[in-house]
């Protein structure tokens, strides 16, 4: 029997800056390597929400893109919060990381209300945090990506950091941490794309999805030589 995993790509038309679509492609490839058949459903503003969802991915965008999707996201808030509370794995990058928090105040003072899946708040700042970044995570080990944002994000008690910054800025210039995690929902500023260089996070998303839908997960692959070369190349590049 073919074991399908349904991946929702959230707002790819507006939230696909710095190659975040690569996360969808990398997750498809990794899922197939583990013996699953991934089915990607793109959900843009106004599109129907699928009946079954195993994984949700979202990317970043300019403030204008966030403004276009914010209203639609709030209309789906109850559905998405229910999925998150039920353990559906999700990865939100940059702009959607911000909108999965309580609110995002742009650098012009406009307030975009988020959906509160993650206990974070963000303000647009004057300082731009840009360059290759390395963080240390107790669960995923060394995570490597590329940050390019001026959002200053602060975590509340309901979320824990994805990791501690070893190189780079992270959520803000002060706290020394990057990303946020509540249950199986991960938010992060790491572009790059993130998943091609960090298969451990792909395996987490796939594993949690498989356990929820099929009752178990037996990994079929571990080391990814291509990903390792990309990781090392990124670490060697100056910020």
Catalytic, 102? Answer no
The burial class, CB within 10 Å (0-12 / 13-18 / 19+), for 225 is: exposed
- Six token digits for residue 228: 């390792």
CB 110 within 8 A of CB 68: no
Continuous segment of H or E residues that includes residue 96 = helix 95-99
In the set 34, 102, 149, 191, the catalytic residue is 191
Please give the Cα distance from 121 to 69 (Å, whole number): 18
In the set 94, 107, 149, 223, the catalytic residue is 94
CB 45 within 8 A of CB 66: no
Catalytic, 94? Answer yes
Q: Cis check for the bond before 33: say yes or no (omega within 30 of 0).
A: no
- Six token digits for residue 126: 């004057």
Q: What are the C-alpha distances in Å from 228 to residues 74, 136, 178, 190, 199? A: 38, 16, 21, 17, 9
Phi/psi of residue 160, each to 5°? Answer: -110, 155
CA angle 87, 91, 94 (to 5 degrees): 140
For the annotated catalytic residues, the residue numbers are: 94, 191
């Amino acid at each position: 029997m073919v074991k399908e995993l349904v991946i929702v790509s959230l707002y790819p038309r507006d939230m696909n800056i710095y190659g975040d679509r690569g996360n969808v492609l990398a997750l498809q490839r990794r899922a197939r390597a583990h013996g699953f058949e991934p089915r990607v459903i793109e959900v843009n503003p106004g599109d129907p929400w699928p009946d079954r969802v195993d994984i949700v991915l979202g990317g970043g965008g300019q403030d204008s893109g966030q403004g276009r999707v914010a209203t639609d996201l709030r209309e789906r808030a109850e559905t998405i919060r229910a999925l998150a509370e039920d353990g559906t794995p999700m990865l939100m990058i940059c702009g959607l990381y911000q909108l999965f928090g309580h609110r995002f105040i742009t650098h012009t003072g406009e307030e975009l209300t988020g959906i509160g899946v993650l206990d974070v708040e963000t303000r647009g700042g004057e300082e731009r945090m840009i360059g290759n970044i390395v963080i240390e995570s107790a669960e995923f080990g060394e995570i490597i990506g590329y940050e390019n944002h001026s959002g200053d994000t602060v975590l509340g008690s309901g979320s824990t950091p994805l990791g501690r910054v070893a190189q780079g800025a992270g959520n803000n210039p002060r706290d020394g941490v990057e990303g946020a995690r509540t249950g199986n929902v991960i938010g992060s500023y790491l572009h790059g794309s993130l998943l091609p260089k960090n298969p451990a996070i792909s395996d987490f998303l796939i594993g949690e999805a498989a356990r929820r839908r099929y009752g178990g997960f037996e990994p079929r692959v571990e080391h990814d030589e291509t990903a390792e070369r990309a990781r090392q190349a990124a670490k060697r590049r100056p910020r």
